[in-house]
């Protein structure tokens, strides 16, 4: 697990965008796994800027999002379909047919789940998966207690998650109680994973994810099982890590070797 500690959220976003630019430059038809929420917004802004400058094209790229609230239509103001259109897709040269966000408003949710998993497989699997992390250590909407082998499915959201997300809605009562989400097992099949976290509120989750035992009570800790994971955090989110000096040494040595 590579741990990259950066000065602030701006630096985290810049670092993340460079990872995507490097991925797509090397493989123009990359399959990218995308996330929503406040954490990736800076990264998406950097990617839009890079696209406008001609540094990256998404013309051949295919994307899969992690999750969607159950019951929200794609045009709902807080749906992740709309979030992705407004935050990224409408500003780059990606084909709408190459973007995939699970539908939370379908009648046959089991069919949607099966088709989403099949679509990822048909695309050849995800090359680079972007993740955020909840204050309780959840990744996507895999709440504490989620099976580490889980696939795409419906999950009930904890009150803590709903409270954390209430700022995007008018009130806690308006936050959906369930969501459709990629499972931890699905995420771990990605060829590489990039997790971003900023702010003191994520410090406990990052420490447990990176240095704690692998446990379903901290879903992010399952990333320790993957061979190509990068955790990019700002100083505040890294504040509770016990091996800060070692992680810094690893990055200095990586720079000397000329690795991205």
Is 234 one of the annotated active-site residues of the chain?
A: no
* Burial (Cβ within 10 Å: 0-12, 13-18, ≥19) of residue 7: exposed
Nearest residue to 31 via CA among 69, 62, 54, 4? 62
Cα 226 from chain centroid (whole Å): 15
Q: Among 67, 68, 127, 164, which one carries the catalytic annotation?
A: 67
Is 108 one of the annotated active-site residues of the chain?
A: no
Cβ atoms of 68 and 109 within 8 Å: the answer is no
Q: Among 68, 112, 127, 143, which one carries the catalytic annotation?
A: 143
Tell the residue number behind the tokens 């123009």, with chain if given: 28
Is 249 one of the annotated active-site residues of the chain?
A: no
Is 81 one of the annotated active-site residues of the chain?
A: no
DSSP per residue, 208-245: HHHHS--BTTBGGGGGGG-SSEEEEEETTTTTT-S-HH
Alpha carbon distances (Å) from 139 to 94, 113, 124: 26, 18, 22
Cβ atoms of 141 and 179 within 8 Å: the answer is yes
Q: Among 112, 136, 164, 234, which one carries the catalytic annotation?
A: 136
Q: Among 68, 105, 138, 164, which one carries the catalytic annotation?
A: 138
Positions annotated as catalytic residues are 67, 136, 138, 143
């Amino acid at each position: 697990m590579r741990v990259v500690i950066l000065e602030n959220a701006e630096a985290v976003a810049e670092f993340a965008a460079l990872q995507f630019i490097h991925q797509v430059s090397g493989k123009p038809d990359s399959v990218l796994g995308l996330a929503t929420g406040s954490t990736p917004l800076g990264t998406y802004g950097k990617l839009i800027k890079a696209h406008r400058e001609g540094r990256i094209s998404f013309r051949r790229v295919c994307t899969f999002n992690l999750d969607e609230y159950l019951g929200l239509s794609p045009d709902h103001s807080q749906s992740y379909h709309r979030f992705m259109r407004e935050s990224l897709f409408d500003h780059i040269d990606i084909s709408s047919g190459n973007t995939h966000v699970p539908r939370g408003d379908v009648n046959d949710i089991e069919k949607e789940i099966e088709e989403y998993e099949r679509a990822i497989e048909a695309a050849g699997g995800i090359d680079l998966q972007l993740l955020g992390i909840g204050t309780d250590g959840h990744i996507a909407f895999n709440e504490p207690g989620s099976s580490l082998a889980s696939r795409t499915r419906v999950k009930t959201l904890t009150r803590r998650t709903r409270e954390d997300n209430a700022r995007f809605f008018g009130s806690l009562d308006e936050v959906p109680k369930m969501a459709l989400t990629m499972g931890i097992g699905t995420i771990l099949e990605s060829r590489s994973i990039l997790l971003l976290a900023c702010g003191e509120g994520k410090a406990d989750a990052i420490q447990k994810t990176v240095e704690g035992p692998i446990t379903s009570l901290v879903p992010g800790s399952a990333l320790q099982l993957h061979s190509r994971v990068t955790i990019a955090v700002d100083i505040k989110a890294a504040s509770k890590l016990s091996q800060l000096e070692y992680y810094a040494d690893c990055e200095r040595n990586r720079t000397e070797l000329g690795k991205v």
